[in-house]
Structure 1
């Protein structure tokens, strides 16, 4: 656990040194690559984590996904249960507000529940990844628990900056790998 905590701090510190110009430019390139994926094109319902801090700017991907005539869902964090529930997003400005840890999430009064079984494509957050698809999350376990609720075969897609790809990432037995990793430089 201590190894994961130290690694998280190191990678996040490096990521925070990126300029906002780089975050924006890299995010646009990552979005371009993601929208070209056959898995994305085939999906009717896409789930996004909503970015905060210097994460890949997924909030900017949501309107583009609407333009592709796809349904968008986003997670709302239930802290007591340490779980996520999904809600359909129809309008970024009206439906979302800062939630737990100031991460954007669906407003309680705008919840439109969606079953995990309806999701076809999942864009997952993470602090670091390795080329084998192992993921180091933020440490709450929310996504690892959530993944078990998805239909078999739903692609887990990490959008991350190249500097967050490490030679190896420590994993536990319950950690689930992602199928695809998209950086500003490549698709793994």
Structure 2
């Protein structure tokens, strides 16, 4: 029998996944422009010269314009690569191409730098399903980012990216869930 928070997480993920599927192209484009502007502001405010960022899927807030901007501004970008052992590897994506990774999620192609490469970034930008106002991040259920965040030696600021209506009063939390320092939405940057 699944624990209550497991069932709550699954139900909330299903609801939010459906909401994302129902966004119109116009709503997605408008959200993408806001995400770009707010991520640029965050990186500038932190003076970050090296960041980690994921390649967004079609239903996630679009991180690709931000990645293009960061690379054009000579900011080093590390991309996560899912491993079968549940850890994340990292690449700088030197080949400028992507492929479907272990779970069908887009991943950059390039030399693998190892899980510890993330210790050298100034800012981590992570995906999320939702974030609550206490900084609890609800991921998509595989635990990759929670394991990574829990193992960092010198944890940089970590910001999740979600749509405006995915910042919630409370999300289900379990002992292994790692908090984030803030959230970036199309409409705002919220620090915890």
Aligned with 2:79 (options 50, 69, 74)? 74
Aligned with 2:11 (options 6, 11, 30)? 6
- After TM superposition, which residue ranges in structure 1, 4 or more long, deviate above 3 angstroms? 38-41
The answer (yes or no) to whether the contact 1:20–1:54 under 8 Å persists in 2 is: no
What is the aligned partner in structure 2 of residue 88 from structure 1?
Answer: 92
How far 1:46 moved relative to its partner? Answer: 0.7
Deviations 1:133-159 (A, max 9, x none): 111100111110011233434011111
Cα separation, 1, equivalents of 2:49 and 2:112:
17
Secondary structure of 1:62 counterpart: helix
TM-score, L = length of structure 1: 0.89
How many residues are matched? Answer: 183
TM-score, L = length of structure 2: 0.88
Alignment RMSD, CA only?
Answer: 1.7
Secondary structure of 1:3 counterpart: helix
Q: After the TM superposition, which of the residue ranges 112-121 and 2-11 deviates more from structure 2?
A: 112-121
**Structure 1 regions of 5+ residues with no counterpart?**
none
How far 1:64 moved relative to its partner? Answer: 0.5
